[in-house]
Structure 1
Amino acid sequence: MASVLRLLAVLLAAAVVADAVTIVVTNKCGYTVWPAALPGGGTVLNTGESWSIDVPAGTRSGRVWGRTGCGFIANGTLGQCQTGDCGGTLACSKVGFEPITLAEYSLASGAGGADQFDISLVHGFNAPMSFLPSASRCARGGPS
């Protein structure tokens, strides 16, 4: 298991379009992770690589999680993950199967239109994760 300093980092950042955001997922683990997001799909990240997810304006909420032990063939359309698998596809259309460490966010839904986010272990734990807003997101009201 990775140390606390090695984790899948999820960063909520402001985008150019009002109420649209970009979520940046960075693999800081010492092993390959296949992050997935709803909305957003999925990809593969080796240690140190990042993936940007553009969340369109009007999106109220979403989820991001890491998958481990995956193997995909045929351009990511067939495969399986040991944890977080979402139906055998690289680009997920549903939340992955347990166990998963889950980052959840709600945009402009808190008091005064604040963004909200959390890390949930309600579905188990499969990879260490942090979830942080960018400084520019905080400047517009930030998460609560």
Structure 2
Amino acid sequence: MLLLYSIAAVLTIVQGVPFTFVNNHPSTIWVGSLGNAGKQPINGGGWEMAPGSQIRLEVDPSWAGRFWARTGCNFDGSGRGHCGTGDCGNVLKCNGAGGVPPVTLAEITLGGWGGNDFYDISNVDGFNIPVTFVPTDKSGSGYHCTAAACTANLNADCPNELRLIANGATVGCKSACLAFNTDQYCCRGNYGTPDRCKSSAWPKNYPAFFKQRCPLAYSYAYDDQRSTFTCSGTGYKIVFG
């Protein structure tokens, strides 16, 4: 009887957290996943999703990392190729490589402090397509068990100096760090602390462009902390587009 109880307990511990990925983008996307240090990428690090499709995956309850959409990809039969945005080393299965900015990130830490999950949408690496991150089994208010999202199409009115253009179309909106690579815009060197890197003091407050259109997403490295959401005991849905 004790043995049966122990087996049941183990099964309960290793049960995964259900994640549903949905492609509402009008074109095919190729999702990328990257685990934090010591965490394996989900589903090999990448997979293809046709418009209107969805996929459900089980994620380890202690996993932490990020997901993003790659666009404009072309892969051969061996899974090698290139993406217009979010590329991760010219392969379908990112397998430990992050997405090349500009890219919209969906980030999560499962089972963090106090047993809570912490999740957010980030434009710190810029923007390529809208993303929504929402709990599926619980609802709440404020920043607890509600949707973290960047639903605006920032490419449409991205400042000209931040635009990533391919074949005459804007396919991404760069961060100021990526566009100009200065210590101030990248919050490094003499600007590497929150008190010394405030976007309001920059020559141009580019994060304000992102924050005004996506107020629930992070806009730069030392953005306010109000864009982190918490929940627990739930699965999650990530909607691209």
TM-score normalized by structure 1? Answer: 0.77
Structure 2 residue aligned with 1:74: 77
Pick the aligned partner of 2:105 from 88, 102, 106. Answer: 102
Shift of 1:56: 2.1
Give the root-mean-square deviation of aligned CA atoms: 2.4
1:37 equivalent to 2:41? Answer no
User: Is the 8 Å Cα contact of residues 18 and 235 (structure 2) preserved in structure 1?
Assistant: no
CA distance in 2, matches of 1:29, 1:83: 14
More strand per residue: 1 or 2? 1
Structure 1 residue aligned with 2:52: 48
1:64 equivalent to 2:60? Answer no
Structure 1 residue aligned with 2:37: none
Pick the aligned partner of 1:120 from 116, 122, 142. Answer: 122
CA distance in 1, matches of 2:69, 2:61: 24
User: Is the 8 Å Cα contact of residues 17 and 57 (structure 1) preserved in structure 2?
Assistant: no
Structure 2 residue aligned with 1:132: 134
CA distance in 1, matches of 2:71, 2:235: 31
Structure 2 residue aligned with 1:7: none
Structure 1 residue aligned with 2:90: 88
How many residues of Structure 1 are paired with residues of Structure 2 in the alignment? 125
User: Is the 8 Å Cα contact of residues 136 and 234 (structure 2) preserved in structure 1?
Assistant: no
More helix per residue: 1 or 2? 2
CA distance in 2, matches of 1:54, 1:75: 25
Letter in 2 for 1:140: G
TM-score normalized by structure 2? Answer: 0.47
CA distance in 2, matches of 1:114, 1:142: 13
CA distance in 1, matches of 2:55, 2:132: 15
CA distance in 2, matches of 1:42, 1:73: 15
Highest Rg: 1 or 2? 2
Unaligned runs of 5+ in 2: 1-10, 35-40, 139-144, 146-230, 237-241
In structure 2, the CA distance between the partners of 1:106 and 1:46, relative to structure 1 (3 Å rule), is same
